[in-house]
């Protein structure tokens, strides 16, 4: 019977430490895809005692009004008010379902989702990761594939994009 002695690992092959995510930015829009990102955040919250910031981005109706203003068109201020109210409702609904032991903040931003998600992460500078769904068209806006692609390419922090499993 021969005994093999393990040689020490080279410096580049040292054992891996765990990755801890303690501050998460989660983009939500009410879609099934953003729900998966939210569930991942809850898991990280419980595993790593992470603080979670929920972000909803609503279109800036007033800024966009000059591009499509027509006689008889809906009032952009009224449309903005309705979009903002829907974002607030979405956040209230999510907060009502979140575990009470996780520290949670909420943010609403106006503009295009990709740039606003990156801007929130950049301005705060405190997030370990951004979580978002791969595709989604929710009640408030659209976190579509192009948004996740934008965030992956422009964010200055880690980005986790969750995809639904084979069962949807």
Rounded to an integer, what distance in angstroms lies between the CA atom of residue 17 and that of residue 26?
24
- Summarised one tens digit per residue, pLDDT across range 117-131 is 999 999 988 899 999
Residue 143 pLDDT level (bands cut at 50, 70, 90): very low
Residue 46 lies in a domain: yes
Biggest CA-to-CA distance, the chain = 91
- Give a yes or no: residue 158 inside a domain: yes
Give me the number of domains the chain comprises. Answer: 1
Q: 0.85 cut: is pTM over it?
A: no
Q: Are 121 and 155 in contact (CB under 8 A)?
A: yes
The enclosing domain of 137 has a CATH number of 3.40.50.620
pLDDT over 60 at 12, yes or no? yes
The domain of 67 spans 21-162
> Is the pLDDT confidence value at 142 over 70?
no
Domain membership of residue 9 (yes or no) is: no
Per the prediction, the chain carries an average pLDDT of 85
């Amino acid at each position: 019977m021969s005994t093999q002695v393990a040689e020490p690992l080279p410096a580049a092959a040292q054992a891996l430490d765990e990755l801890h995510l303690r501050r998460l930015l989660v983009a939500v829009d009410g879609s099934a895809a953003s729900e998966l990102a939210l569930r991942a955040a809850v898991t990280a919250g419980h595993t790593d005692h992470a603080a979670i910031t929920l972000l909803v981005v609503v279109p800036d109706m007033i800024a966009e009004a000059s591009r499509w203003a027509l006689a008889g068109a809906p009032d952009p201020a009224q449309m903005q008010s309705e979009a903002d109210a829907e974002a607030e409702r979405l956040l209230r609904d999510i907060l009502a379902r979140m575990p009470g032991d996780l520290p949670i903040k909420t943010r609403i931003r106006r503009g295009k989702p990709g740039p606003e998600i990156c801007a929130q992460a950049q301005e705060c500078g405190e997030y370990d990761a951004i979580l978002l769904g791969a595709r989604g068209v929710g009640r408030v806006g659209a976190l579509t594939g192009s948004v996740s692609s934008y965030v992956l390419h422009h964010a200055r922090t880690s980005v986790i994009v969750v995809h639904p499993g084979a069962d949807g």
